[in-house]
Amino acid sequence: MLDLRTLALAAMMSGLVFFVATLALWRLVPLERSLRDWTVGALLMAVGNLLLGLRGIIPDFASIVVANAAVVLSLGFMYVGTRKLVGMAPGRPWHWLAAGAALVSCVVFTYVVPSVPMRVVLMSALYFPLGLACGWLFWHQDEAPTKAIDRLTALIFFGGAFLVVTRAIAATSLPLSTAYVSTPSWFVAAPYFYSTLLNVWMAIMLTLKVSARLQRQLAEVHSNRLRTTEAELRESEQRLTLAADAARLGIWIRDLGQDEIWASGQWRALFGFTPSQRLTLAQVLQRVHPADRRMVSQTFGQPRCEAGASEAAFRIELPDGELRWIVSLERVEFDAAGQPILIRGVSRDITVSKQAELEIEQKRMEVMHLARAAMLGELSGALAHELNQPLTAILSNAQAAQRFLAHDEVDFDELHAILQDIVDEDKRAGEVIRRLRQLFAKGETLSERVDVNALVLEVFHLLRKDLTNQAVTFQMDLAPELPAAKADRVQLEQVLINLVTNACDAMQSLATPLRLIVVRTAVGADQSILVSVIDQGSGVPAGDLEQVFQSFYTTKERGMGLGLSICRNIVSANGGRLWGENNPDRGASFHFSVPLHAAEAT
Amino acid sequence: MSITPRVFLVDDQPAVLKALARLLVSAGFEVAPFESAPAFLDSGYAETPGCLVLDLSMPGMNGLELQQALAARDSLLPVIFLSGHGDIESGVQAMKFGAADFLTKPVDGDKLLRTVLAAFESNRKSRLERAELDDIRQRLAGLTPREREVLALVVDGKLNKQAAASLGTTEKTIKVHRARVMSKMRVSSLAELVRLADRGGIRAAAFDKP
């Protein structure tokens, strides 16, 4: 039915298929090193089968010696490939030794002592251990997804080993017909059948194995990457926690779905909660100082519907009564539908810096108060005079009225006029006292509309007596229709009084007709109002123009050296600037600027 | 014969000026108010009887400057200063220049009125003295140079004989001169003559070294 050549051709063709398949696999998956050996093995198998099939057509050396050696070598390469495939080292080059042995024995039993059975026995002896070893390796391969394939492959190898043993036994008793080419016996045909089966199966097996292996590696890579990402996440979270702890930042997250707040240990310590306590918004708000509670619940209680972070500083009261200043920053997060789902925030203890800030503010207010008190001392003469005028008028009017009443004829019109004058003068005295109280009042910096021109006039009235006594001419050069400034009126008045008093003092050594102070108001650059106090004194030594603003710098015999430094503080607190310069001819000018009132700014 | 003394008020504060004027008027004084020192100087009242109630510190010419200006004009008006603050330095200076008094505001009405009355009295006296002195000076001016020489020697306590000797004339001539001096000076006794001559500033020493 089938002649030998057809069988050999089929074996060769299947060997070629095996070769092409492994070659393609090898090129596609070069990382699978065993495929190189399998490819070589497949090529040798195809060549060996071809040569065997051409027995009688080509010289015996090629069809017997070379062909057998090639097949042995092919199996050897498969063995190496198998070792590599199951993850073992390539091992020693036994396959070359086996191929050499096959070559030598074939030559010997073909040319020196021709004996077919001996050839068959020897070849079988070479095939058998290789097949058995390959089968063994496959049988014990423990790769779960391809277990069935491995077992089947092992069985095929074992089958081959069994076949060669059977052939070796049969070779001694079976007579070899010369007509085996046209009608081959099972003995001759079986190896070709087996070879075809082996080739086809190996091609399938390798494809399956490599695919499975790739799939597994892919999964491994994937899970490795997941593991790495997870580790990195943990790592970065730890780093964040460390940084947050180091910065004393408490972290909290409020889930808007449930009324529950997650908070870091640092945050719980900050707010005086135990690490395991369950937290709700109401509990947290309970900690907030009553004065700040409304503000906090408005800022953090209702999630706003716009993105962005909000910040608030507030006080909390711990159960033991300790007061802490906290600054909290929060950010709302939204779901895909734009609904707020959670609020994330950090809180920090700013008690120390807040206290320092409050202390500085306190100190500043005390210094300002001190300055006011000192100024009040300086002004007491002028104020006494201001009060004296109405008091004098009132007393004289009242005593005049008493005398008029003692007269025989009482002039009621005159009495009426006297009483009216007493009322007017009393009001004037009241106004003086009100002004005095204002100057003396300890208060925070206000931002009000200030008519600077009116302020200059008021200062002039306040200092008129001092100016008169020192024979100083006070000239007001006021800008018409000056817009209002935004400042604290009383503080500006203090600054102006100080500057005018300084100007007076600077001209004490001057002949009286030369004593002139000009106060000028103008609209300055960048939305400000500029006030200048210009004197005719000896000016300020050029190097001291900045030094005069330092505390305790004074040129006066009885000065504290606080006036100008406090003035500069006051002007800065009002958002302006105070500086001095020498006039080109004589004397010095001190200027200060204050911002325009918002309604006036353009 | 004489004009009623008046109180001249000078204060730059209209309300105070008005009230003080009322007070003085209520006590029956005649009052002339002025709002500044120059206004008073220009009024020409400096020679009239009365007194000046003056605010110490005023713009332009202050109280002390007005006081000095009046002194330069030989005014006899006593000056009562009113001061807002008890400025000792100004007070001392004012008293040095001959202020009648130095009161602090607010001033009690009775005190002011008493001070004004006292000032009126002193003004009256000094005006009388001034008038008397003018009279004596007038009489002295009526003497001839020779009579003055005799007067000087007589008030110096020299006897007629000694006077004659020092003037190089006879005792009789001296007697005649002396009688004429007595009649021109309208005195009847030597003691009276000495007093008048003294007040008129005649001294023997003035003639020692002609």
Q: SS3 for A257-314, per residue?
A: CCCEEEECHHHHHHHCCCCCCCECHHHHHHHECHHHHHHHHHHHHCCCCCCCEEEEEE
Q: E strands, B39-100, where? A: 50-55, 79-83
Determine the distance in angstroms separating the CA of B111 from the nearest CA of chain A, rounded to an integer.
11
Residue, of A463 and A70, whose pLDDT is higher: A70
Of B20, B59, B62, nearest to A396 by CB-CB distance is B20
Of B16, B22, B59, nearest to A392 by CB-CB distance is B16
Determine the distance in angstroms separating the CA of B58 from the nearest CA of chain A, rounded to an integer.
7
Check CB contact under 8 Å for B15 and A389: yes
**pLDDT tens for residues A545-583?**
777 777 666 666 555 556 787 788 888 888 899 999 899
- Name the residue among B197, B189, B184 with its Cα closest to residue B151: B197
B31 touches chain A (CB under 8 A): no
Interface test with B, best of A392, A413, A420, A428 (most B CBs within 10 A): A392
Strands A260-263 and A309-317: unpaired
For chain A, helix, strand, coil in percent to 5 are 60, 15, 25
Tell me the chain B residues in contact with residue A428 when contact means C-beta distances shorter than 8 Å: 15
Check CB contact under 8 Å for A384 and B27: no
Q: Please tell me the predicted confidence (pLDDT) of residue B210.
A: 38
Check CB contact under 8 Å for B19 and A396: yes
Query: Looking at the predicted structure, is the pLDDT value of residue A379 above 80?
Result: no
Report the length, in residues, of chain A. 602
Average pLDDT over residues B28-33: 92
Chain B residue whose CA is closest to A409: B26
Q: Please tell me the predicted confidence (pLDDT) of residue A154.
A: 92
Q: Please tell me the predicted confidence (pLDDT) of residue A382.
A: 67
ipTM summary value: 0.78
Q: What is the pTM of this model?
A: 0.47
Average pLDDT over residues A300-322: 77
Tell me the chain B residues in contact with residue A424 when contact means C-beta distances shorter than 8 Å: 15
Determine the distance in angstroms separating the CA of B54 from the nearest CA of chain A, rounded to an integer.
14
List the single range of A290-304, A306-320, A522-536, B125-139 with lowest mean pLDDT.
Answer: A290-304
Q: Which residue has the tokens 């009847």?
A: B188
Q: Please tell me the predicted confidence (pLDDT) of residue A442.
A: 55
DSSP B169: S
Check CB contact under 8 Å for A385 and B85: yes
Question: A423: which residues sit within 8 A by CB, 6+ positions away?
Answer: none
Q: Please tell me the predicted confidence (pLDDT) of residue B205.
A: 45
Q: Please tell me the predicted confidence (pLDDT) of residue A431.
A: 81
Tell me the chain B residues in contact with residue A394 when contact means C-beta distances shorter than 8 Å: 19, 106
Percent of chain B whose pLDDT exceeds 90: 24
Q: Please tell me the predicted confidence (pLDDT) of residue B18.
A: 93
Chain B residue whose CA is closest to A464: B59
Compute the C-alpha angle A358/A563/A362, nearest 5°: 10
Q: Please tell me the predicted confidence (pLDDT) of residue A600.
A: 62
Interface test with A, best of B16, B20, B53 (most A CBs within 10 A): B16
Interface test with B, best of A396, A461, A468 (most B CBs within 10 A): A396
Chain A residue whose CA is closest to B25: A400
Q: Please tell me the predicted confidence (pLDDT) of residue B206.
A: 44
